[in-house]
A and B are shown apart, each in its own frame.
Chain A
Amino acid sequence: AQSVTQLGSHVSVSEGALVLLRCNYSSSVPPYLFWYVQYPNQGLQLLLKYTSAATLVKGINGFEAEFKKSETSFHLTKPSAHMSDAAEYFCAVSSYSARQLTFGSGTQLTVLP
């Protein structure tokens, strides 16, 4: 079985500050890990993915995430927050043999002016 835990359902940062959204996973097989973003009243959009290649993954809009097997973590970061980053972020896990994703509970990011 696979699962992800997102620490912090709400995170607030000031514009220009570092964004750090936490995700820990559990998987009995090598995991594929993803971050998706959901803007208000929209569907989810893929930000970035880890599929066993480079452990530091760069995504769209300046976001990146680092896969740390020893810590079973896949935290999402962005050096400088922008107002347009305000959204809900979901971490998800899958595996090579599975097609479905298992999502975390989401983290709502608020960017303060």
Chain B
Amino acid sequence: DAGVIQSPRHEVTEMGQEVTLRCKPISGHDYLFWYRQTMMRGLELLIYFNNNVPIDDSGMPEDRFSAKMPNASFSTLKIQPSEPRDSAVYFCASSRLGQGVGEQYFGPGTRLTVT
């Protein structure tokens, strides 16, 4: 299997621009998670989906952030408008119900820099 795929791997944008991060989970996985990693706050769960439905978005920092999962093989995390404090590494992870609690497979991450 190809693993979790994220694109782009690096994104540099100016403050105020829209940013879209993409994720393709492992085929057959029914849970998808979006995390943000910063030096100050560590690894934070932003939102997760089950069977394409958002289950818990309490970690989404503010209305500028939105996430969608239109089908089982694709998800996006959008920031509009972006701000310098959004600079972080964003990870997508997926898991399968029968696989066991907590066994999440992480993508390589997208390093976002907002100037």
- Interface residues of chain B, those whose CB is within 8 Å of chain A, are 4, 31, 33, 42-43, 45, 48, 50, 55-56, 91, 93, 95, 100-109
Residues of A within 8 A of B (CB): 32, 34, 41-46, 49, 51, 90, 92, 94-96, 98-106
> Which one of B45, B55, B108 lies within 8 Å of A101 (CB-CB)?
B45
Contact check, A99 vs B95: say whether CB atoms are below 8 A apart.
yes
B108 touches A99 (CB 8 A): no
Q: Which residues of B contact A104 (CB under 8 A)?
A: 42
Which A residues are CB-close (under 8 A) to B101? 32, 51, 94-96, 98-99
A49 to chain B, nearest CB (A): 6
A-B pairs under 8 A by CB, number? 57
Cα of A58 to Cα of B87 in the assembled complex, Å: 36
Contact A43 B48 (CB under 8 A): no
Residue of A42, A45, A90, A101 contacting most chain B CB atoms (<10 Å): A101
**What is the interface of chain B mostly: helix, strand, loop, or mixed?**
strand
A32 to B104, CA, bound (A): 13
Q: Which of B42, B56, B102, B108 contacts A49 (CB 8 A)?
A: B102
A99 to B50, CA, bound (A): 9
A50 and chain B: residue at smallest CB distance: B102
Chain A residue numbers with a CB within 8 Å of B43 are 44, 90, 103, 106
Alpha-carbon gap, A34 to B93, bound state (A): 15
Contact among A42, A49, A102, A105 for B103, CB-based, below 8 A: A49
8 Å CB contact of B102 from A41, A45, A94: A94
Q: A44-B93, A46-B103 known; 13 other A-B pairs, CB under 8 Å? A: A43-B93, A44-B91, A44-B106, A45-B106, A46-B105, A49-B103, A96-B101, A99-B55, A99-B101, A100-B56, A101-B45, A103-B43, A106-B43
Instruction: Tell me, rounded to whole Å, the shortest Cβ–Cβ distance linking A90 to chain B.
Output: 7
Known A-B contacts A32-B101, A49-B102; the reply to A103 vs B42 at CB < 8 A is yes
